[in-house]
A and B are shown apart, each in its own frame.
Chain A
Amino acid sequence: MPGMTLYDKLVASHEVARIDAEHVLLYVDLHIMNEYTSPQAFSGLAARGRDVLRPGQQMAVVDHIIPTHPVPSALRVIADDASSRQALNLKRNCDTQHIALFDTTDPLQGIEHVIAPEHGMILPGMVVLCGDSHTTTYGALGALGFGIGTSEVEHILATQTLVYRVARNMRIRIGGALPAHVSAKDLVIYLVHRIGAQGARGHAVEFCGEAVAALSAEARMTLCNMTVEAGARAALIAPDAVTDAYVTAHAPQLRGALLDEARAWWATLRSDDDARFDVEHAFDASRIAPFVTWGTSPDQAMPVDGAVPDPRDEPDALARLALEKAMDYIGLAAGAPIAGVPIDRVFIGSCTNGRIEDLRVVADLARGKQVAAGVRAMVVPGSGAVRAQAEAEGLAADLIAAGFEWRQPGCSMCLAMNDDVLRPGERCASTTNRNFEGRQGRAGRTHLMSPAMAAAAALAGRIVDVRTWGDAK
């Protein structure tokens, strides 16, 4: 019998029952909910007189619809009636079912995928599910995380399990070292570009290699978060010393003998030497440049010194149509360089890049400089804790002095469910995860990039190569 992958081990340790050759009943250690993908699940339970089976394994937060206006936490209000109803409904559901909630005015409120790890709810070896596709983030800490739909949210609330089709195994090895000014965000956009928007569909992706080992825990979250943009069912990194340091710093409930026990288990959470992967890829980090999306799918990306592709070079009719449609929407011509494209808006934040390390990079670049005339640049920290930390470190003051808006946390303009929305035709340098048509606002144009690249774009007023932009000044 061949060895097991890390993914196989995580599934096996959570298998309540085998359903058939492809499906298992999977136990869920932590279930996270937000205000917009959970209401119909609670209603479904209520309609059949069912209760939440394990309230202590559930956490909820108001994050998608919350405005990010810079008022004190205690004074935050949701002006939009429908959005306010969603927040109140979540609170009522959590109160009724005794579920831990991070509500609108909670100073610790934030984006679900930012607050769960920062308070030690995510530990290696756990299964963590949420009605949100970016739940793949938790693979950064050696936990199996993936997004689910609302019917599945209801299933978990009632049974603490999921009927789950086991994914195939993919391994992506990243050798070498990332060059200066090239981050985990550039790496993941590069990977999505290389393997395509469905390159990992149906697979759990395990990352390994020198470049991955060298990433901080937060940078690993960025990598695993956006792996879903290649269609991956999950992303995983085997826990190591970096993971251990992060988790022990954030989870004070794990101490003494309990921590020793946990560490003994974490040490087994790695793919066996003779484990078989269905697909393997290898890439060299040292060859990666800052990456920027030019189109309307996260795989439509290129190095910052590249140019928009020519659809006439694409032999497949559907693929050619996709390129033409994207170019038409984004307003760039075939062969146009991406560097130098003027921008109207900058958005720094999201579950991909709204953590303290991201804000440090932005503040370092912005310090003593000014946001370009005519550019509106927003910084939306990933959580109340990130916001407080950035204020304590003086980052917020630097950003405000440089002309950035310093706002309250939330998902904000990543998906523009609140009042942070692009106007038609506005072009935005964004640290988010999706450049889909209309995602940040109808007819809004999104270019995904790293926090460093977005900060440089804010200061320059156009897309620039952060590796050389500072020198030219």
Chain B
Amino acid sequence: MNVMTEGVAAPLPYSNLDTDQIMPKQFLRIIDKAGLDKGLLYDLRFDEAGAPRPDCVLNQPAYAGASILVAGPNFGCGSSREHAVWGLQQFGIRAVIASSFGEIFYFNALNNGLLLVTLPPAEVDALLAKVSNTAAAGANRVGIDVMAGQVRAADGWIAHFELPARHRSMFAQGQDMVGATLQQLPEVERFEARHWARFPWMKDVARQVRDRLDAHDNERR
């Protein structure tokens, strides 16, 4: 994700568009991240025979190559599946604009550099109306400037958004979060020493329980 993005924005005016719908179950039986572009919003995009549904904006010529979604409230609620974010990105989506996002989805997007822009409901409504206009060529194009916190419609309409500084830099540059935290490992180890001295029963809790169950199982044999 760069700090600026500009492209065709597709309207998905559905409330609570959950991650089950964004990435249905049949595409989750993988151990890598491949092929998720095909599964994106599958039931919305394809009928039961697998043919593209003409009523879906993502199948309409006016929205070909869409790289931005303008969606209803609570986009990405439900299941924690990060496959939803991977699928959006593989499909070519670089940003989603909505009045709110599911909490786990928000952080999944952040960790992958998929830009999420939160605008007040009235501004999302206004933008939905603008990008739904397919009569005028280019009317559904939207620009987003992350550093300036601006969403700009083709007609010059502008909305402002704010991101926490940390999230702004993550969306803009991405970050090896694991690598960053590994730099703090001595601090983690000092914490653990204190924590386990205070709560010794929490140390190796999973291993302790599994060993107990295995010992019990062996006794029964």
Contact = CB atoms under 8 A, between A and B. Distances in A.
Contact of B184 (A25, A82, A201, A253): A25
Interface in B45-101: 48, 72-74, 77-82, 85, 100
Contacts of B201: 123, 253-254, 258, 261-262
Contact of A158 (B15, B16, B85, B178): B178
Given A56-B205, A438-B20, A201 B188 contact: no
Which of B25, B48, B166, B206 neighbours the largest number of chain A CB atoms within 10 Å of its CB? B206
B191 interface: yes
A416 interface: yes
Contacts of B25: 415-417
Contacts of A254: 201
Interface in A36-55: 36-37, 39-40, 43-44, 48, 50, 53, 55
Given A121-B205, A148-B80, A197-B74, A437 B21 contact: yes
A150 B210 contact: no
A83 interface: yes
A415 B111 contact: no
A317 B125 CA distance: 9
Contacts of A439: 20
A265 B72 contact: no
Contact of B182 (A119, A158, A442): A158
Contact of B207 (A39, A100, A317): A100
Nearest to B203: A56
Contact of A36 (B29, B202, B209): B29
Interface stretch (A14-22, A181-189, A212-220, A456-464): A14-22
A152 B111 contact: yes
A105 interface: no
B38 interface: no
A322 interface: yes
Contacts of A37: 80-82
A98 to B, nearest CB: 8
Interface string A335-378: 00000000000000000000000000000000000000000000
A253 B212 contact: yes
A30 B203 CA distance: 9
Which of B82, B100, B178, B179 neighbours the largest number of chain A CB atoms within 10 Å of its CB? B178
Interface residues of A, number: 90
Contacts of A53: 185, 188
Contacts of B108: 149-152
Nearest to B102: A231
Given A29-B205, A437-B43, A17 B187 contact: yes
B199 A125 contact: yes
Nearest to B44: A437
B212 A55 contact: no
A322 B16 contact: yes
A415 B200 contact: no
A133 B16 contact: no
Contacts of A148: 80, 104, 107
A89 B31 contact: yes
Interface in A294-333: 297, 317-319, 321-322, 325
A86 interface: yes
A198 B73 contact: yes
A391 interface: no
Contact of A16 (B72, B78, B191): B191
Interface in A257-308: 258, 261-262, 265, 297
B181 A100 contact: no
B112 interface: yes
24 contacts: A17-B184, A19-B166, A20-B165, A27-B191, A30-B206, A40-B31, A40-B82, A56-B204, A56-B207, A59-B209, A82-B29, A85-B31, A89-B31, A108-B213, A123-B201, A131-B80, A253-B212, A261-B201, A297-B16, A318-B15, A319-B15, A321-B15, A437-B20, A438-B43
Counting from the closest, the 3 A-B pairs by CB-CB distance are A56-B204, A100-B210, A149-B108
Given A253-B208, A321-B14, 14 more contacts: A16-B187, A25-B188, A48-B179, A50-B182, A132-B80, A133-B78, A133-B80, A151-B177, A160-B188, A198-B16, A322-B72, A417-B28, A417-B29, A434-B78
Interface of B: 13-16, 18, 20-21, 24-25, 28-33, 43, 48, 72-74, 77-82, 85, 100, 102-104, 107-108, 111-112, 121, 125, 164-166, 177-179, 181-182, 184-185, 187-188, 191-192, 195, 198-210, 212-213
